[in-house]
Structure formats: structure tokens, C-alpha cells
Structure 1
Amino acid sequence: MAERRRQQDRDDYNNEMADRDVGRIRRFLPESARGEDTRKRREKEQRQLSALAMLLQNDPEYAALYEDTFDKLRAAEAATETALARARDGLAAANGMLDETLDRASQLPDGTRAFRDADGNVFSEDGQPITGEALDQVRWRDGAPSYEDYLARKKAVTGAQAAYDEILRYQVDVLGHARGRLTDEDNPPTKEELGELQQDIDTQMPDTVRQELTPTSHSEPSAEGTAKIKPLSLGP
């Protein structure tokens, strides 16, 4: 037992002289050297921290602004997901109504749909006039939709698609960019950029997304709330 302890002492001494860190408390170096060793160890730990972690740890003002920006991002992301789901449902419904209108339309023998407008003019589904011999071949159906009905259904699909695309662009171009910057450990955004990210999240937000924000998402953080720096998560 004593021999094993002496061997451990020799190993510890040799490791300390060689400045090898083996995870054991240093016992043989003088106090001044041990203090220097502690300082070096802390400096090494600091170097291993990411640039973002250093800012969050050492700059309370930055940490509070960063947290506020991330809170706004998360709220916008949640509202965007809800708005996107609604827009997707709306687009599906609009397409369904257009399909139903086309199914009920009168047709030419080759399957081309034909619609009569309020003035008695007849048009195909791509807007071409149907006249002469072709007009005589139209197979008219009872209760067939008018050209105005058809155009209204097409317009509804176009509007629903535009609304969906607007939300999707916001999700990718604005929120995706913001999350990418906020989670960049090695090149974190400056305070000025954090302010710009917040502004972009707000000013570029589609009305359809804004309507889905929860009441707490609209309120500004209190001074007390921003003064307390809570542990931050880079995840959702």
C-alpha cells in the first residue's frame, strides 16, 4: 500500500514537472507556480469558449438584447407556422373549388371547357373566345358555371397561392436568416445587427402572420425582465 502511494507521488511529481494535466490536484509545485497554473488553465478555458458564449458571459447588455431578439424570433416562428398551415388549407380549399367548377363546366368534344359570360360570349378555360363551328359543338350542361364564376375561382386560387408564398418567403428569408445569425457561435451578430434583426422580423412580417401572434408576443419586455439574464438556449 505504501509502495503504491510512493509510486503515485512520483508519478504526480513527474507530471507536474512536465506540465502534464492528468486531472489531479497539483501538490509539489510552489504556491506561486500553482497560481500561475490556475491562471493558465482559466485562460485555456476562456479560449475554448465560443465568441458568442464570451459575449453572453461578459456583456450583460448584449445578453439582454440577444435574449430579447431570440424571444421575438421564437414568437414569430410559432405564428408563422400557424399562419402557414392556415394558408395551406386555404390554398387547398381554393383549388378544390376551382376543380369542382371545371368538373361542372360545359365542354367541347375534345374536352376543352367552355364558359358563357353574362353577355352571351363563350370562352375556353384559358380565355380564348369560342366562336363559329366550334361554338356549335359545345355540349352545354344544365347548371354549368358561368365564365364569371370560373374567373372568380381562378382569382381565389391566385390570391391563396400568393398569400402562402408570402408567408413562406418570410419564414425562409427573414426568420431563417435571423436564426442563422443568432446561432452563429463563431461570428455572432453585433448589438447593431441584433437591432436590425428585430426590425426585420417586425416590419417584414405579413399581416397573416401578425394575426397569429399571441397577446404576450405583442408586449414589450419590462426593464426588470431584460435586466435578468436567464440561461439562453439556441434551440427552438
Structure 2
Amino acid sequence: MVDYLGEFNEIVQAQKDRARQQDIDDLNAELGGYDNGRTKRFLSAETRDAIRGEGRKGKGHHQLSTLEMLLLNPEYSRIYVETQNRLQELAQAAETALEKAEQAAARDRAAYEHGLERAYVLDDGRHVFRDERGIVWDEHDHRINDDVAAQIEWKGHELTREEFLELRDPMRASDKTVLDIREYQTEIGDMQNQMKDPDFSADDLMKIQEKLAEPMPEAIQHELPQIAEQPGNTMAVELPKFD
């Protein structure tokens, strides 16, 4: 059966993508001060005069950074501020999530290390565990040779393979959560620094918007509603002044 609705949605999305790219191209043309043959629809006449050096203060295009020119446009200025605020929210959520994740990881590791105290230890230092089928494994998931396993004198209180996995797997998951949050924090910081770059462009802004639409670590997503509800959490973004 032909998925007409799916095809229609794909066509609509493609049209939106082309329209957005045309907007970026047109804005860049206006910011660059050149005529691309299309109607000027972003910058005011006064702003275009300022870019050409004909404004009241006579600050020309060559004196304005790419970021300053971007923020001359009210719509992109609004998106810029909203994006900065979103990054600030994400940074706060990530900080809270990391604190909780590190505490959970510490608890899981302590439980794991405590459990290892019940494990049988071979002469070479490896911890080994017998599963419900009688097969013996070490902590690295390597099966112990049957001849070696047969020489082990079990006391009956040792940690089983199943018990070991119940301790190890949560610890690994906690460690991964911490790592994922830290990596996402680095990405947030990189985007925040990029937005302060004088060469930051409309295309860069759209790329950050696309990046922010991608999935984030669940631990950070979980903290966002609480961060958004906190009073006074909106960051005051100081836009460049065109002296």
C-alpha cells in the first residue's frame, strides 16, 4: 500500500528546508551588502545604509562583525537570544544531572566492590563466578577452563555469576550516564563559545538549532522541566552595541 501521507509529509518538509535555506541565503546577501536579485525582506533601509557606511554614525559593512550584522535583523536577534537561553537551561540541567549521576555511580561502584569481597579469587588475581549451569566465568566475561574450574573448592557462599551481573551492569550503566552527560556538557560549552565568536553567522545559528533538536541524554532531559520552572533562570543576553 502506498504511503501517500508519508510522501506528502516528505514533500512538505523538503519545501520547508528549501524555504529556510533561501531565507539564510537572502539574509546573508543583505548582510553582505550585495544584490542577489531578490526583494529585500530582512533588514530595514536604515540598517542597510549602516552596513554600507551611509548611516548616522557611518559605521560601514567592513567595520561590523558577522555576528553584529546578524543581530541587526530582529528575527535572527530573537532566535539568537532564545538559543542562548536554551543553552543556559541545558547547561543548568546538565550540571544537576551530573551531580545526581555521579552520586548514583559512586553508590553502584561501592555495591559492586562490596560484592566482589564474596567472589572466589584465583591465584592470578582474577575474580571468578559460577553460573546456574555450573560454568565458571571471570569478571571480564571470559569462561574459565574446565580443568581450572574443577580445582576450585567452593564454600557455598561465593558470589554467583548472576549476582555478579546484577551488580556490574548497573555500575557500567551509571558510569556511561556520567560519561554521556560530560560529553553533552562539552558540546553545550562549545556551542555557547561559538555564539560569542564575531564570525558567527546565520548558517551557524541554524546548525545549532538543528543540533539542539537532536536527542540528549535522558538524565538531562529529566531535569529540564524543573530548570524551566525555576524563577529568574532566563539569561540576560547582552547584544553587541554598534558604536
Is this contact kept in 2: 1:72–1:217, CA < 8 A? Answer: no
Is this contact kept in 1: 2:93–2:227, CA < 8 A? Answer: no
Paired position in structure 2 for 1:182? 195
The residue type equivalent to 2:57 in the other structure is R
Of 210, 221, 226, which residue of structure 2 is paired with 1:210?
221
**1:171/1:204 CA distance change after superposition, 3 Å:** farther
Kindly, what percent of the aligned residue pairs are identical? 27
Instruction: Name which of structure 1's ranges 134-143 and 103-112 shifts more when overlaid on structure 2.
Output: 134-143
Give RMSD over aligned pairs: 3.2
Paired position in structure 2 for 1:162? 176
Is this contact kept in 2: 1:72–1:198, CA < 8 A? Answer: no
**1:63/1:210 CA distance change after superposition, 3 Å:** same
TM-score by length of structure 2 reads 0.61
Paired position in structure 2 for 1:8? none
Paired position in structure 1 for 2:116? 102
Paired position in structure 1 for 2:98? 84
Matched residues, number: 181
Larger Rg: 1
The residue type equivalent to 1:202 in the other structure is A
Structure 2 unmatched runs, 5+: 1-53, 230-235
Paired position in structure 2 for 1:70? 84
**1:43/1:141 CA distance change after superposition, 3 Å:** farther
The residue type equivalent to 1:199 in the other structure is E
Structure-to-structure mapping, 1:42-53, within 5 angstroms:
42-43=57-58, 50-53=65-68
Q: CA deviation at 1:210?
A: 0.9
Is this contact kept in 2: 1:91–1:157, CA < 8 A? Answer: yes
TM-score by length of structure 1 reads 0.63
Alignment partners' CA distance in 2, 1:128 and 1:75: 47
User: Deviation string for 1:34-92 (max 9, x for gaps)?
Assistant: xxxxx999336997664434543x32222211111101110011111111222222222
Paired position in structure 2 for 1:149? 163
Alignment partners' CA distance in 2, 1:74 and 1:150: 40
Structure 1 unmatched runs, 5+: 1-38, 219-229
